[in-house]
Structure 1
Amino acid sequence: MTPVAEIEVMDRPSLVALWQDLFGGQPPKSLSRPVLRRILAFEVQARSRGGLPRGFVAKLERAAGEAAPKRSPEMQPGARLLREWNGVTHVVDVTEQGYRWREQTWRSLSVIAREITGAHWSGPRFFGLTGRAGG
């Protein structure tokens, strides 16, 4: 029986043991047996052929770096954020304690964005600090 054919008939403890041999750790608990089998079969096949091509690995690493989410800049106390929503301009002041909006201090820009829109928003995105704010 080929190694891939053996993987197809392994029970979960055997799959976990193979994962530990190949990757040196526990597999994520949320992975089902069919997904574990696919990952392990792919890895066994790739290793039997000398691994993934170097150029391909480099492309994956570049793509992963480009896809990393951009973090919002650290806001300094004294900064002011303005956002117009449905004809109303909302002003948020950054303080030592958090974000001041409508005479109240909030810990999160996302909570303020939700209060303004009534929908779940990324606060930094809503205020134009990352990505493109909609509205």
Structure 2
Amino acid sequence: MPLPKLDEIDDLDRQALRVAWREVVPRSAPPRMSQVFMRRVLAFDIQAQIYGGLPKSFLRDLNKVAKGKTTSNKSPSLKPGSRLLREWNGVTYVVDVTEQGFVWNTKTYRSLSKIAHMITGTHWSGPRFFGLSKGAPK
């Protein structure tokens, strides 16, 4: 049986879901799993095969949590098109995230820390200054 299409999963009965499950997941479905949950898992796994699964960093953190360990509080990844705002001494500063780096006052910088230093006159962690990491200014 070929892999079911996402829009066909809702029409499968329990037996067809089990057959599709063995093709997609490569092991038998748990015997008491509801059809609703089977459909959700199948849909996720089919999409993961088509578009790629979860990021490796997320899976690594998930395994740490499963083993009772804590994960690091990394700064969120900034995507081009994001905009950072920070008020400092009554002035609001705006930084745009681009493919090339960070744009502030029409100039592109490779580091948020450099921008934070230019704004404050002292050394700052750029992610912390702009509120992206633990212990960020309020």
In the superposition, the TM-score normalised over structure 2's length comes to 0.47
**Larger Cα Rg: Structure 1 or Structure 2?**
1
Q: TM-score by structure 1 length?
A: 0.48
